């Protein structure tokens, strides 16, 4: 019977099968974007690992073209290395990792990235990725990793280990259906922007034509991304509380669970909460907590006062570092930067916004550089709250009559333990009102700094225009003055000319000062 047959076909699929069939969801769409995605996944993992381990990152990226759309990507870092028993799951299993469940502002969030590259590599070339890693303990491990797509489990081949003094991880992936160039969506652009937002990292890129570019570090301060946040009582949902109660906590009472698992909940808060929801509920075993009870707790928490979510888990680049980095990398005439104080969205998720602006000098045209936790966002520009905020600002007020016609780079970095991405591609930040408004505020604060510069520039332009007019009329003026004063025309001309040149010299001095040292 047809009806029975329909359900005879009912099957279950692994998440690897799903993403293999929908690889565009992971960023493997066009040829250029696929390569950029692969570079992005490896580079983010390397930077995250270095920062968690407190190491100044040193990355080596090499892209080789075998023929046509067939490339090899190698990324090596000086990070902490990966224990050999963990390697297979990092590179050979989707949805496995250290970052998914922790409140920490890492670049990666989902435990898909590196394994996604493995899947793409094996889909297009049938080959495994090759991993070499050592924890600096005298032993180097190498192995080939593939994914058994039907089961979403790693397949390891050619594993070997040998003595050696080195620390870090090196991954090599062979891919087809990719393309390298230097366009604005390319791996090159991705690396360039990564270097800009990560001045503590030294990054080397070797392009397929052999050209080697090194972005040297401009900051020697170790970035530490090792603090893990806790959810704030004002940001927690009923569902979150249920998950904590049933899967996470080891506490035996709801009251101690709230104290242990949430931020800013102490004895006082528990006493206050007891008045609102009753003692019985707080004495309950979390494993027995019901939805309606959790809902009562969440509603009660919302009526209470707590100190703001702690924001020390947020790792900003810092205004000074942004300015140094923009200066070194873009050679502009003027830079300004702002790192705002942390804010909170959805009641409990901390975030902060930093903005840098680089103008004139070697900066040609307008460029918006978007970042989330220092990771460049190259795609889906239109859908991003950063773009929308930039477009909403009245730049004229700050002396830029049209962004499109100005020589200006606007650099925006949003830092958060949970970046609210629009989609799986993680390329656009959703326009959550608190986040959008804070980006606008940061842009306007930067705008006010720019204004000093743009004002000076326009004053200078006026003065120079006046000087040009004077120069133009100098001969006639000299003649007229000579007649009135009954003086020698040549002498008058000489006096006026040297006065004008003197003034010009002072203008030049003034002009050179513009930008330098300015905020």
* Residues forming the site for its own copies (CB under 8 A): 2-3, 6-7, 9-15, 17-18, 21-22, 24-25, 29, 49, 52-54, 80, 82-83, 86, 89, 93, 95-98, 100-102, 110-112, 122-127, 135, 149-150, 226, 237-239, 242-243, 247, 291-292, 294-295, 382, 421-425, 430
**CB nearer its own copies, residue 125 or residue 308:** 125
d(CA 386, CA 389): 5
What H or E segment, with its residue span, contains residue 62? strand 58-67
Q: In the beta sheet, which residues pair with residue 215? A: 203
To the nearest whole angstrom, how small is the minimum distance from the Cβ of residue 99 to its own copies?
Answer: 8
To the nearest whole angstrom, how small is the minimum distance from the Cβ of residue 425 to its own copies?
Answer: 7
To the nearest whole angstrom, how small is the minimum distance from the Cβ of residue 109 to its own copies?
Answer: 8
d(CA 503, CA 235): 61
To the nearest whole angstrom, how small is the minimum distance from the Cβ of residue 52 to its own copies?
Answer: 5
**CB nearer its own copies, residue 84 or residue 356:** 84
**CB nearer its own copies, residue 432 or residue 470:** 432
d(CA 139, CA 80): 13
To the nearest whole angstrom, how small is the minimum distance from the Cβ of residue 3 to its own copies?
Answer: 5
Q: Is 57 exposed, middle or buried (0-12, 13-18, 19+ CB in 10 A)?
A: buried
To the nearest whole angstrom, how small is the minimum distance from the Cβ of residue 515 to its own copies?
Answer: 39
**CB nearer its own copies, residue 95 or residue 507:** 95
Q: What angle do CA 91, 93, 98 make, to 5 degrees?
A: 75
Instruction: Give how far Cα 147 sits from Cα of 64, 115, 122, 152, 409, Å.
Output: 24, 8, 8, 6, 42
Task: Report residue 91 as tokens.
Answer: 């590179």
The secondary structure of residue 429, as a DSSP letter, is B
To the nearest whole angstrom, how small is the minimum distance from the Cβ of residue 231 to its own copies?
Answer: 13
* Residue 499 three-state SS: helix
To the nearest whole angstrom, how small is the minimum distance from the Cβ of residue 217 to its own copies?
Answer: 22
To the nearest whole angstrom, how small is the minimum distance from the Cβ of residue 4 to its own copies?
Answer: 8
d(CA 50, CA 60): 14
* Residue 473 three-state SS: helix
**CB nearer its own copies, residue 418 or residue 451:** 418
d(CA 365, CA 61): 28
Do 422 and 312 form a contact (C-beta atoms < 8 A)? no
Of 117, 69, 115, residue with least CA distance to 95: 115
How do strand 334-339 and strand 212-215 relate by DSSP bridges? unpaired
**CB nearer its own copies, residue 294 or residue 338:** 294
* Residue 233 three-state SS: coil
To the nearest whole angstrom, how small is the minimum distance from the Cβ of residue 96 to its own copies?
Answer: 4
**CB nearer its own copies, residue 18 or residue 166:** 18
**CB nearer its own copies, residue 79 or residue 515:** 79
**CB nearer its own copies, residue 292 or residue 516:** 292
* Cα pseudo-dihedral 247, 250, 252, 254, rounded to 10: -60
**CB nearer its own copies, residue 254 or residue 408:** 254
Task: Report residue 288 as tokens.
Answer: 């027995």
């Amino acid at each position: 019977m047809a009806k029975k047959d329909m359900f005879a076909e009912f099957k279950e699929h692994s998440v690897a099968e799903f993403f293999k069939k929908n690889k565009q969801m992971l960023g493997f769409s066009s040829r250029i974007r696929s390569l950029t995605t692969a570079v992005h996944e490896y580079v983010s993992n390397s930077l995250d690992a270095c920062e968690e381990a407190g190491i100044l990152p040193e990355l080596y990226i090499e892209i080789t073209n075998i023929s046509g759309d067939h490339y090899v990507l190698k990324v090596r870092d000086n990070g902490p290395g990966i224990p050999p028993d963990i390697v297979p799951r990092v590179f050979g299993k989707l949805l496995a990792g250290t970052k998914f469940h922790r409140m920490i502002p890492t670049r990666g969030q989902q435990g898909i990235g590196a394994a996604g590259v493995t899947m793409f590599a094996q889909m297009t070339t049938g080959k495994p990725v090759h991993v070499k890693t050592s924890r600096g303990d005298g032993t180097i491990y190498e192995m080939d990793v593939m994914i058994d797509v039907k089961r979403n489990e790693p397949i390891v081949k050619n594993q070997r280990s040998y003595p050696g003094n080195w620390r870090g991880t090196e991954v090599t992936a062979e891919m087809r259906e990719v393309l390298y160039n230097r366009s604005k969506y390319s791996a090159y652009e991705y690396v360039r922007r990564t270097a800009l937002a990560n001045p503590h990292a030294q990054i080397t890129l070797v392009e397929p034509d052999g050209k080697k570019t090194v972005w040297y570090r401009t900051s020697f301060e170790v970035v530490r991304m090792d603090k893990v946040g806790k959810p704030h009582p004002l940001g927690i949902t009923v569902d979150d509380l249920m998950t904590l109660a049933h899967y996470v906590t080891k506490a035996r009472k709801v009251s101690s669970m709230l104290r242990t698992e949430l931020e800013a909940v102490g004895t006082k808060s528990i006493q206050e909460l007891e008045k609102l929801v009753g003692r019985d509920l707080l004495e309950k075993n979390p494993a027995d907590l019901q939805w309606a009870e959790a809902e009562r707790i969440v509603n009660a928490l919302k009526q209470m006062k707590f100190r703001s979510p702690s924001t020390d888990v947020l790792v900003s680049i810092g205004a000074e570092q942004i300015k140094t980095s923009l200066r070194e990398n873009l050679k502009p005439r003027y830079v300004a930067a702002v790192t705002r104080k942390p804010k909170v969205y959805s009641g409990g998720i901390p975030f902060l916004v930093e903005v840098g602006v680089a103008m004139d000098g070697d900066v040609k045209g307008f460029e918006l550089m978007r970042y989330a936790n220092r990771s460049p966002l190259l795609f889906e520009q239109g859908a991003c709250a950063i773009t929308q905020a930039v477009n909403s600002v009245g730049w004229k007020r700050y002396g830029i009559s049209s962004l499109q016609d100005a020589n200006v780079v606007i650099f925006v970095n949003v830092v958060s333990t949970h970046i609210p991405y629009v989609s799986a591609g993680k390329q656009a930040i959703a326009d959550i009102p608190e986040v959008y408004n804070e980006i606008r505020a940061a842009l306007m604060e930067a705008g006010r700094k720019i204004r000093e510069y743009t004002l000076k520039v326009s004053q200078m332009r006026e003065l120079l225009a006046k000087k040009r007019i004077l120069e133009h009329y100098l001969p006639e003026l000299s003649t007229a003055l000579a007649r009135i004063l009954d003086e020698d025309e040549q002498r008058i001309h000489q006096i006026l000319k040297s006065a004008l040149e003197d003034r010009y010299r002072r203008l030049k001095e003034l002009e050179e000062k513009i930008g330098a040292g300015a905020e």
